[in-house]
Amino acid sequence: MADTIVSANRIARDPQGPAAAAIGMKALKPIMHFQVSMLRMWADSIERFAGLYEKGLEETATAVEEQSGKERAAQ
């Protein structure tokens, strides 16, 4: 912990320290945008899959209900 504080103080006193940090942050921004867009695509895919799965369950339940209704009518 103390090493981190000493390093931060050294960077703050260095005339090129804040500039280097700014350059690093500018380089990080497109990477973060890419990661966020990938997470959004992943979430959309999961939501789409969940919707299709739910639709399939409803269709299966409807088919089972119809089949059991036909079996009761046949008896």
Can you tell me whether residue 1 is helix, strand or coil?
A: coil
pLDDT at 31: 93
Q: Where are the domains of the chain?
A: 2-74
pLDDT at 4: 64
From CA 55, how far away is CA 63, in angstroms rounded? 12
pLDDT at 37: 97
Q: What is the per-residue DSSP string for 5-61?
A: HHHHHHHHHSTTHHHHHHHHHHHHHHHHHHHHHHHHHHHHHHHHHHHHHHHHHHHHH
pLDDT at 39: 97
Using the structure block, give the residue that is written with the tokens 């320290």. 17
Give the pLDDT of the chain (75 residues) as one tens digit per residue: 556 666 666 666 666 667 777 787 888 899 999 999 999 999 999 999 999 999 999 999 888 888 887 777 776
Eight-class DSSP state of 75: -
